[in-house]
Structure 1
C-alpha cells in the first residue's frame, strides 16, 4: 500500500515537534497537524511563561536583599501590562522558532484539528484526509475543572497569563505543583493569595520533609495556606466570587483559580473507535516502546500520562524514532528522572523520597537544614534543605532532595550522580565547593536517622 506520508504526527508540542524533526532527518516523509499554537503546553501556556513569571515575582525579595547588602534601591511597583506584553511577544517568538524548525526539517504542517479515521488515515478539520504508514499522537493534556458547584466561574492555568489586570485577591484551589508555584508567583507579584487544599500537606507524592519546609516558607512569605479545606461551592458576588468550604469558612475573592489536576487530551480523536485502548483517566495505553494496541499508532508525552514532563516527552519522541525509523528498538527509560518545582524556594528532586525508600529496603537518611549565607546576612529567616536517602545494603544514593533557591539548577547535576548509581562514599570523596549551599551534599558524614 502506498501512503501519503511515512509519519503523521498529531500535536505540535515539544514531543511531537522533536519526533517529527528527527524522523524527517532519516529521510522519512513527515507531516504534523496542530489545532492551536506550536510549542504546546510547555512553551505557550506552561513551563516557559511560568518560569518568566517566577523570575518577575522574585524581584521584591531580591530588592530587599539588595538594601541589606548596602544598595540604595527604590522599587516603583510592578507593571503587569508591560510584563504581559513582553511575555506574549516572547511566546510569539518561540512559536515562530518551532514553526521554523519544522519547515527547515521539511516537515509538512497543517494548522487544523486532526482525528483518526482508521489505523492509517488522519482526517483534518479543513476537510483534507491523509494516509500514513505510522501515526504518532502527541496531543498532551489540559487542565480539568473539578466536579464542584460553580467551578465554571473559576480560571485554570491556561488563563493565568492573560489577566487584563492582576487581581487584588485570589483563591487557589489545589495542592499540587501548579497550585503551589502560582501561589508563590502571585504572592510575589503583590496579589493577596489564599490557598485551600483538602489534603493534610501540599505536594503529595514528594518527600515529606521537603514539602513540609516548602509549606512553612510559603506561609512565612505571606501565602494564606489552609490545609484540610474542601471547597463546597463558588458563587458570583458583587465584590467577586463567594467561596464556601465544608468546614464553614466563607470568603469573597476577586478571582478563583482551579489547580486540581490535568487530563490527557484524547476526547474526540476517534481512538477507541479504531481499537486504541484508553486508561481510566483517558490516557492512551502504550507499551515500553510507546506503541498502542493498534500497531501503526504510537503515543508520547502527557497524553500517555506516564511521567508528565517536557524533557520526558522529548526523550519518548527520540526513542520512538530510534525504534520505528532507525531499526533500533529503544524502550523509554522512566527511572530516576530529575525534576524541579518552581516554588519559592524551589524543590529539586531525583529518585525516591524517604517514605518511598523505607517501604522497599532499610535506608539511612542524611539531612541538614540551615539558613544560607546570603539570606542570613540579609536578615531573612528562610531555611534550605539538603537531603540524601541512602541504601544501607548497597550504599547507593536512592534519592536526593533539595529545597533552596536555584534547586532546579542544583538537582540537574546531582541527578547525573544518582542516575549513575553513585554511593554515599563516592559523594563523600567529592571535594566540597566552598562557600556554597550545595557543599552540604558532600559533607554530611553522619545519618540523622535510619529507617
Structure 2
C-alpha cells in the first residue's frame, strides 16, 4: 500500500493539467487527484482562446455583409446584439467546462473544487481544509493578466474582463502592442466599437517578423483602429464634466454617452463611467473604457512553492528542466506557470511528456522547437520558425516573399493585401521560417508547419504542385529570392 494518498496530484484544471491527469490515470493506471479553484478548462477554454475565437468570428461578419453586395447578394447591416452573442458564448463555455469535468471523472481522476497550496514537496492543503499527500505534484496553475503600475489603473479592465461585459462600450483605449492587444483591437473594431490603441514600442507585435508586423499594423489602421506607437499613458482618472466641455456631439465617441454624462452631473465617476486619459504624445481624451493588455504573469503567488523547495524565476515562474522537473524532485510544472512557450497545445504536449517521463519510464524532453502559432488579427498572422531578422543574425539566408491583393476581397473592392514569406538557409536550403499574413492564415500555417518541422528545403516546396486558384499557392510558386543576407 502506498504511503501517499495519490500517485499524482495536479494543481490546475486547464488544458495541460487535465490532459496530464487523464493520461496518467488511464494509460499508466496511476491514482490521480486534481484541484481547480476556478472553472475547469483554464485560460484557454474559459477566458482565452475559445471565447476570443468566437468573438473573432462574430467581428468578421460586418465585412461579409459589405462584400456580399459585390457578389450579387442583397444583405442589410443590422446592429450587433452583444447580449444575445454573449449568452450563446456562455452556454458554449458551460458545455465545454462540463466536458472537461466528465473527461476527468471518466478517467477515474478525483476532482476537488478548491485552491491548493503546497505544505511541502509531497503535501498540499486545500481551501476546504483537507490535507492530501502525493508522490508527485504537478503544478499547472496557469497565468493571469497584469495591470501596469499606474495610479488609477484599477479603473481599466484586463483581457479576462472583456468576456463579462454587460454591454460593449462606444469607445475604448487598448494599451499594449502584443498579440492580445492587437487581437482585441481588431475584434472590438469589427463589432462597432471605436478603438484607440497605445503602444510604447516603435511597432506592434514585437518579436515577430518585421515585414509581417508592418503589414498587420497598416491593415489595422486602414480598418479604422487609431493606433499610436511610441505612446503610453501618463495619467488617468475618472472623467469630470469639464473634461467633456467643448466636445462636439460627433466627438462624444471620444468620451461619454448621454447617460454617462448625466451620471457625472449627478456626482458619478466610478469604474463604469468615462475615463480621462493623458498620453505621452501630449493628447488627452475621454474614453468609455480602458483595457490593459500589458503582459501576463504566472499564478504562483501564495502557493507555498518556495517554502516547498521550488525555485521561482524573476517573473514568478516555476524554473524547470527539459523534463519539466522543478528544483524539488517530486514537483513538476507545465504550461504558463513555467513561462516557457505560453500556448495551449504546448501545455498539452508538456503534460504528455511529463507522463511519459514519470509514469511510463520513458524520459521525454519537451520539444519547443519550430512551434507553429497564429495571431487572430484581421488579417490573421500565421508563423512558424525564425523571423527574417533572427535568421539573418544566425546565418546567410535567402528571403522569398510576395504580397498581393487576394481574389476574393479584390473582387469586392477592398484594398486588403496578404503576404507569403519563406526564410531559407543558403547553406542547407532548409526553410527556416514561414510567415503568412492572410485570411485564415492560422489554418494555412498548421499545414506549412508540418513541412518546416520535417526539415523541408526550398526545393521541396518548389517540387510541390500549386493548388489554383488559392492564396496559399504562392508558397510553392516563389522562384527568385527578393533579397539575401
- TM-score range, shorter-chain basis? over 0.9
Q: Using the TM superposition, give the Cα deviation of residue 302 of structure 1 relative to its aligned residue in structure 2, in angstroms.
A: 0.2
1:204-259 Cα shifts (integer Å, max 9, x gaps): 00000001000000000010001110111210114400011122110000000000
Q: Does residue 14 of the first structure (1) align with residue 15 of the second (2)?
A: yes
Aligned to 2:467: 433
1:60 offset after TM fit, Å?
Answer: 0.4
Partner in structure 2 of residue 342 of structure 1: 376
Choose which of 56, 72, 76 in structure 1 pairs with 2:78.
Answer: 76
Q: Tell me, yes or no, if the aligned pair for 1:396 and 1:422 is still in contact at 8 Å.
A: yes
In the alignment, the residues of structure 2 paired with residue 221 and residue 400 of structure 1 have an alpha-carbon distance, to the nearest angstrom, of 26
Cross-structure match for 2:165: 163
**Aligned equivalent of 2:192:** 190
> Any unmatched runs of 5+ in structure 1?
none
CA–CA distance in structure 1, aligned partners of residues 150 and 473 of structure 2: 47
- Select 1:383's aligned residue among 399, 417, 434: 417
Alpha-carbon distance in structure 1 between the residues aligned to 2:11 and 2:86:
30
Are residue 332 (structure 1) and residue 366 (structure 2) matched? yes
1:291 paired residue among 325, 328, 338: 325
* Alignment length (residue pairs): 451
Other-structure match for 1:403: 437
Given candidates 364, 369, 373, the residue that maps to 2:403 is 369
Q: Which residue of 1 aligns with 2:270?
A: none
Q: Distance in 1 between matches of 2:336 and 2:301?
A: 14
Alpha-carbon shift at residue 334 of structure 1 (Å): 0.1
Quick check: 1:397–1:423 contact (8 Å CA) kept in 2?
Answer: yes
Match of 1:119 among 114, 118, 121: 121
Distance 1:151 1:234 in 2: 7
Match of 1:268 among 276, 296, 302: 302
Q: Which residue of 2 aligns with 1:202?
A: 204
Cα distance, 1:63 vs structure 2: 1.0
Whether the 8 Å CA contact 1:18–1:314 is kept in 2: the answer is: yes
Q: Does structure 2 conserve the Cα–Cα contact (< 8 Å) formed by 1:346 and 1:404? A: yes
Which runs of no fewer than 5 residues in structure 2 stay unpaired?
Answer: 241-255, 257-273
Per the alignment, residue 351 of structure 2 pairs with 317
TM-score computed with the length of structure 2 as normaliser: 0.93
Please state if 1:212 is matched with 2:179. Answer: no
- Contact between 1:149 and 1:232, CA under 8 Å: does it hold in 2? no
SS at match of 1:87: helix
Correspondence list, 1:214-233, <5 A: 214-233=216-235
Q: Counterparts of 1:429 and 1:246 in 2: how far apart (Å)?
A: 52
Match of 2:458 in 1: 424
Alpha-carbon distance in structure 2 between the residues aligned to 1:219 and 1:245 = 19
Corresponding position of 1:91: 93
* 1:67 paired to 2:69: yes
- Cα RMSD, aligned residues only: 0.6
Aligned residue among 26, 31, 34 for 2:33? 31
**Large movers: runs of 4+ above 4 Å:** none
Which secondary structure does the structure 2 equivalent of 1:211 belong to? helix
Query: What secondary structure sits across from 1:43 in the alignment?
Result: helix
Query: d(CA) in 2 for partners of 1:28 and 1:386?
Result: 47
Contact 1:114–1:124 (8 Å) recurs in 2: yes
| Normalised TM-score (structure 1) | 0.99
Secondary structure of the residue aligned to 1:359 is helix
